[in-house]
């Protein structure tokens, strides 16, 4: 079967020539893009997990989102915020020294390295940024560090809800619990709700994998390139690359890019204008 990475590399100039109606482009343009990032995105799209996950329930989640987990997480967060605010009203300096929680990926990375966290609550809908050093890498690093330190982590609620509970005006991706005195029962209720949710997740994932395996067994075991499958994958690749280039156009509108890339981005813009005019007519 055709390797996905080779297909991505080969389809970049093809996409420019075929879809954007521009002159022949050298394959050197490939070096201007994060090929491994594109390949990673494609593999995640075609993996069994993709059938279970969605934009609101990302692939880094390891258990189902249940009413029990969301309810326990909300109750715990509300109590932590209440206790923190009460102490702050009495003694701001002491409240800063005895913070009960921290919020945001940057703060969690700092406190995980200091080994001061007791629990991580991670929103299941953090934006997908799979490039090196992106949000996906950060979340996976947090999970890995938490596992090494035996710090439990839970996926609950969503970014907007976390921001609302923490009295923030913007969405919050995650929260780290530093102290949970006076709300031990809520803390334990949340942790106790996780095993059953993880069991449901593993069962659903194993069912999908079994169904996928059965479908493969029904096919001829001789590996023959399937033109339709490759065509479908190529179409997805072309669409993904075109989408990435369109975003790149917005980001690089005021910067100087390489000549070939500028030509291609201009072609995308012209194509979008042409499509818009055609749709209006």
For residues 109 and 103, what is the distance between their CA atoms, to the nearest angstrom? 10
CATH class of domain segment(s) 67-192: alpha beta
- pLDDT of residue 264 exceeding 70, the answer is no
Most confident of 48-57, 88-97, 114-123, 223-232: 114-123
Q: Give the pLDDT confidence score for residue 275 in this predicted structure.
A: 56
Residue in this structure with the two tokens 């809908």, named with its chain if needed? 125
- pLDDT of residue 13 exceeding 80, the answer is no
What 8-state DSSP symbol labels residue 193? T
Sequence spans of domains, the chain: 4-54+227-280, 67-192
Confidence of residue 106 (pLDDT cuts 50, 70, 90): very high
For residues 45 and 172, what is the distance between their CA atoms, to the nearest angstrom? 26
- pLDDT of residue 160 exceeding 70, the answer is yes
For residues 154 and 72, what is the distance between their CA atoms, to the nearest angstrom? 11
Q: Give the pLDDT confidence score for residue 100 in this predicted structure.
A: 95
pLDDT tens profile 38-55: 555 555 555 667 788 889
Average pLDDT, integer, range 92-109: 92
Contacts of 235 (CB under 8 A, 6+ apart): none
- pLDDT of residue 63 exceeding 70, the answer is yes
Does residue 47 contact residue 4 with C-beta atoms inside 8 Å?
no
Cβ density class 127-153: b for 16+ within 10 Å, e for less: eeebeeeebbebbeebbebbeeeebbb
Element (H, E) at 229: helix 227-251
Confidence of residue 2 (pLDDT cuts 50, 70, 90): very low
For residues 164 and 88, what is the distance between their CA atoms, to the nearest angstrom? 19
Tell me how long the chain is: 281
For residues 155 and 201, what is the distance between their CA atoms, to the nearest angstrom? 12
Q: Is the pTM of this model over 0.85?
A: no
């Amino acid at each position: 079967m055709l390797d996905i990475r080779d297909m991505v590399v080969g389809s970049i100039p093809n996409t420019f020539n075929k879809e954007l109606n521009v002159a022949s482009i050298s394959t050197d343009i490939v070096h201007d893009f994060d090929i491994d990032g594109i390949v990673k995105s494609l593999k995640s799209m075609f993996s069994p997990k993709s059938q279970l996950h969605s934009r609101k329930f990302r692939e880094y989640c390891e258990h189902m989102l249940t009413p029990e987990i969301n309810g326990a997480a909300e109750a715990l967060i509300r109590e932590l915020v209440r206790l923190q605010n009460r102490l702050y009203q009495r003694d701001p300096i002491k409240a800063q020294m005895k913070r009960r929680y921290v919020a945001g990926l940057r703060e969690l990375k700092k406190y995980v390295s200091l080994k001061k966290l007791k629990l991580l609550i991670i929103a299941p809908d953090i934006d997908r940024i799979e490039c090196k050093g992106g949000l996906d890498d950060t979340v996976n690093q947090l999970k890995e560090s938490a596992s090494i330190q035996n710090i439990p982590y839970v996926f609950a609620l969503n970014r907007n809800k976390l921001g609302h509970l923490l009295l923030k005006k913007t969405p919050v991706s995650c929260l780290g619990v530093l102290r949970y005195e006076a709300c031990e029962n809520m803390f334990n209720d949340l942790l106790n709700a996780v095993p059953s949710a993880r069991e449901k997740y593993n069962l659903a994932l194993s069912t999908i994998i079994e169904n996928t395996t059965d479908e493969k067994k029904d096919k001829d075991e001789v590996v023959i390139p399937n033109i339709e499958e490759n065509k479908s994958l190529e179409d997805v690749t072309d669409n993904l690359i075109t989408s990435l280039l369109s975003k790149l156009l917005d980001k690089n509108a005021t910067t100087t890019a390489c000549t070939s890339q500028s030509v291609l981005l201009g072609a995308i813009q012209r194509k979008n204008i042409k499509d818009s005019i055609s749709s209006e007519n």
